[in-house]
Amino acid sequence: MKHQQLLQLCEAYALGALDENDRQQLESHLHSSCDECAAKLSEFKRVVTALGLSTEPVAPPPQLKNKILAQVMQGSSAVESPTPQSPFYFVRSQEGQWQTIAPGVTAKILFADTQHSRTTMLLRMAAGSRFSSHRHGSAEELFVLEGDCLCQGQMLHAGDYHRAEGGSTHGVTSTKNGCMMLVVSPEIEIV
């Protein structure tokens, strides 16, 4: 891809809207120390951040969460309520589907507890990926299983735990080398 084409990809990259191939080409180009593309990307990232912070958070209506939960439960055979005959529930590592929720970020729902409005999921972030700022309707917990995760200015590693209280807003969460986390949240991030 030519330099001018790569320069034009910076805007979509800042928005997290590039497909995997274009993202990899641009990142490779940026690693070759192209000052022009790095400056353009930095400019676009400032704009994207300013846009995200320029509006007041809006709580989604409660029926939206139920609609999302219903869609997720239909789309994944791993998300089923335990039967009344058994108090035990299992999800094998090969069961369930990984769903993309942001560029380089995938999630696999392990259990959607609609009675208590809690969702348990695995969240996988590829090296260099970022998850955008988001607000919590109630507490969210994460436990890092593998890799590294920069969350609220704190570098977390395998075995580290983080809890965000309801009403709090997470800034961008990122990873340098990639990570896998167990997340328990009242809100489904998969839409």
Is residue 69 domain-shared with residue 87, that is, in the same domain? yes
Window from 31-35, 41-45, 125-129, 162-166 with minimum mean pLDDT: 41-45
Q: What does the alpha-carbon distance between residue 129 and residue 124 come to, in Å, rounded to a whole number?
A: 10
Q: Which two tokens stand for residue 2?
A: 């030519």
Residues 113 and 45 in one domain: no
**Residue 191 counted as domain residue:** no
Angle at 116 between CA 115 and CA 118, to 5 degrees: 115
Dist. CA 28–CA 35, nearest whole Å: 13
40 — pLDDT class (breaks 50, 70, 90): confident
- Model pLDDT for residues 104-156, shown as the tens digit of each residue: 999 998 888 777 778 899 999 999 998 888 777 788 899 999 999 999 989 99
Residue 190 lies in a domain: no
pLDDT reported for residue 136: 76
**72 and 49, same structural domain?**
no
Q: In this structure, are 84 and 169 located in the same domain?
A: yes
Which residue bears the tokens 């090969």?
94
d(CA 131, CA 145): 17
What are 130's strand-pairing partners?
174
Clarify whether residues 66 and 49 are in a common domain: no
Q: Are residues 154 and 90 in the same domain?
A: yes
71, 92 contact by CB (below 8 A):
no
Look up the domain containing 12 and give its range: 3-53
DSSP state of 137: S
